[in-house]
Amino acid sequence: MKIANAPCSWGVLEFDLAGESPGYMQVLDEMQAIGYAGTELGDWGFMPTNSARLHDELQARELSLLGAFVGVSLADPRFHDNGAAEALRYARLLAQVEGYHPRGPFIVLSDDNGTSALRTHNAGRIRPEHGLTSEEWAIFVHGVHYIAEIVQEKTGLSTVFHPHCAGYIETPAEVDRLMQSTDPDLVGLCFDTGHYRFGGGDPLDLYARYAERIWHVHFKDCHPGIAACSRAEEWDYFASVGTGVFCELGQGDVDFPAVIAALRAQNYDGWIVVEQDVLPGMGSPRESAARNLAYLRSIL
């Protein structure tokens, strides 16, 4: 299993947040210096969008390009065409830079997280009445299939769905319904340990149910004390993240040694992407990323 990181660990997130994150050259330089072997793309325009230049920047640092996160308002059919065009733009760049292999790169498809006031306010404590209606579920699943089919047809790349807090696929029940409603040959699962834990689930249970659907893995931890405070004090998603609910690996309650054992038992040969959402001003992303890799190396 190869270890990568992602720009979100340096504060490069899909959300419009206050503060400045570092530029791509600093992020890639620090990834390389720490010892990571790959990265995801980050927001469009964060890294070069010219494929030759991006290829050269990554090759100079011996970094692989593993995927790109694409958020789409999938419960609203008005956004499906634009979402497909956006995913295809990312996919073409990934394919030009990295080619295609059975283990990626992937389009990491998700809801347009953080845009629903109800879901954003209740992240980490979602109740059934906060969820999609039956009609919205049908639209959502259609959108996932529609985008995954276009990406595969036009570029050959596969799509994994990323359950994410502050979006409409967060809780164990929601993840189950999406997995049961989507084509297992077309749509894989991005196994994000931290989001699933904050959403109320046990990552090991999720892996046991969907090991064959898990094509891409994000290692993110979840601090139980901060999660409990978030629920008790009714923080919104951004307050929870800014307070450190997604802590450094080994500081939360995700059982990473057991997760690694489960991955090995299934002969998982893809990437592990470390993610720790460090918002601008929260601390030193480089130091956190170094400690995260040191922790992983201590248990691998």
Q: Mean pLDDT by 10-residue block, N- to C-terminus, for the chain (300 residues)?
A: 94 66 93 98 96 98 98 98 98 95 91 97 98 98 98 97 98 98 98 98 98 97 98 96 95 98 96 87 87 97
Residue 283's pLDDT is 74
CB burial readout 141-152, b (16+ within 10 A) else e: bebbbbbbebbb
Amino acid at 174: E
191 within 8 A of 214, measured Cβ to Cβ:
yes
Domain tally, the chain:
1
Residue 181's pLDDT is 98
In 73-178 the beta strands, taken as DSSP E runs, fall at 106-111, 158-161
Nearest one of 51, 2, 6, 4 to 24, comparing CA atoms: 6
Residue 17's pLDDT is 53
What's the full length of the chain, in residues?
Answer: 300
CB burial readout 30-40, b (16+ within 10 A) else e: bbbebebbbbb
Domain with 211 in it? 2-299
Residue 22's pLDDT is 87
Angle 199-203-207 from CA coordinates, rounded to 5°: 130
162 within 8 A of 69, measured Cβ to Cβ:
yes
Joined together, the tokens standing for residue 9 give 């660990």
Nearest-angstrom CA–CA distance, 91 and 106: 8
Residue 14's pLDDT is 62
CATH code assigned at 212: 3.20.20.150
Residue 278's pLDDT is 77
108 within 8 A of 275, measured Cβ to Cβ:
no
Residue 131's pLDDT is 98
Joined together, the tokens standing for residue 227 give 């999660």
